Amino acid sequence: MVPLFAAARAVTLAAAMLGCAAANAQTYPVKPIRAVVPFGAGGPADIYARYLGQQLQGVLGQPFVIENRPGAGSIIGTDIVAKSPADGYTLLVMSNTHTVNESLIPKKPFVLMKDFVPVAPINSSDLLLVVHPSLPVKSVKELVALAKSRPRGLNYASSGNGTPYHMAGELFKALAGVDIVHIPHKGSGEARTSTMSGQTELMLDAITTMAPIARAGKVRALGTSGLKRSTVMPEVPTISEAGVKGYETTIWLGIMAPAGTPRAVTERLNAEITRVVNRPDVKKTWNGQGAEPMTMTVAEFEKHLNSDIAKWAKVVKLSGARADQ
């Protein structure tokens, strides 16, 4: 009789827990949501987090507060979220910086797929290879030739170790067979300014932020990082077609939450984010900037994250990239 009673009690408790989860999903959120961006202001993660936050405020009926906490290649802000309550009120705005860092920086205070749960992707975009106008090159082939003639004589800017800009540069070096010095900065805005001023000579930056700067003549665009030409700058060849065969990389953004966040809450957030990025007006705005909306279920996004971690582990090994470069 006792085992039967215990089993019945367990079933009752399980049902109660499921009922509470369902109720939480229906009432969530009841207070402001904080989204931590572990990157500097003005970069793609910051810009699209704020755009998405504005859209979600109206849908969820609560303020969506964006908090920039950059530093250590995203590790400082990410660790803040990892140590936050798993209640759906603190979220992480992440990028493929995080999937890169799983192999590039194994000694971190967190493990991405252990200390976080996936929520939803946001968008992806190509990178744009640009040089300062003073550099005497007008094509990717000319840049490669110059770099080969001056080993470690050129430098490229990035927003920090492990970021897509850093890994894009290391992949370029590996496939082009050149030795260019990496100059990490505290954020993409700082790296951008460094390249525009000529302190650093080149950069691979998100086309969403760098295209207007290139059009203004402040830098010279040499190539885009996708498999096909960008609709934003169709006159610019891909880096692969311009001479560095097989080159391809992107920057993508997403949302994660601390491990233990109720699945009902992550599913609710996923559904609302998907509705926003699927809206025709959002697609039109983002496509015009060079960003492609991404939509996946929670399970699909989890699969994508694991796949990207494996992909970048191979690139880190191929390029020989290190966190201290």
**Exposure b/e, 174-209, CB count within 10 A at least 16 = b:** bbbebebebbbbebbbbbbebbbeeebbbbbbbbbb
pLDDT: which is higher, 15 or 231? 231
Residue 207 and residue 230 in contact, taking contact as beta carbons nearer than 8 Å: yes
> Fold match between 32-124+252-319 and 126-224?
yes
Question: Which residue ranges make up each domain of the chain?
Answer: 32-124+252-319, 126-224
CA 304, 305, 308, 309 torsion-angle sign: negative
Superfamily of segment(s) 126-224: Periplasmic binding protein-like II (3.40.190.10)
Going by their DSSP bridges, the two strands 250-258 and 116-131 should be labelled as antiparallel
Is the peptide bond prior to 29 cis by the omega test (within 30 degrees of 0)? Answer: yes
Q: What pLDDT is stored for residue 2 in this prediction?
A: 43
Domain 32-124+252-319 CATH (choose: 3.40.50.300, 3.40.190.150, 3.40.50.2300, 2.10.50.10)? 3.40.190.150
Work out the number of other CB atoms within 10 angstroms of the CB of residue 106. 9
Q: How many helices (H) and strands (E) does the chain have?
A: 12, 10
Q: What is the 3-state secondary structure (H, E, C) of 192-234?
A: HHHHHHCCCCEEEEEHHHHHHHHHCCCCEEEEECCCCCCCCCC
| Residues 174-202 pLDDT 10s | 999 999 999 999 888 999 999 999 999 99
Q: What are phi and psi of 89, to 5 degrees?
A: -105, 0
| Residues 11-41 pLDDT 10s | 444 444 444 444 455 689 999 999 999 998 9
Confidence of residue 148 (pLDDT cuts 50, 70, 90): very high
Residue 137 and residue 131 in contact, taking contact as beta carbons nearer than 8 Å: yes
Residue 154 and residue 131 in contact, taking contact as beta carbons nearer than 8 Å: no
The predicted model scores a pTM of 0.85
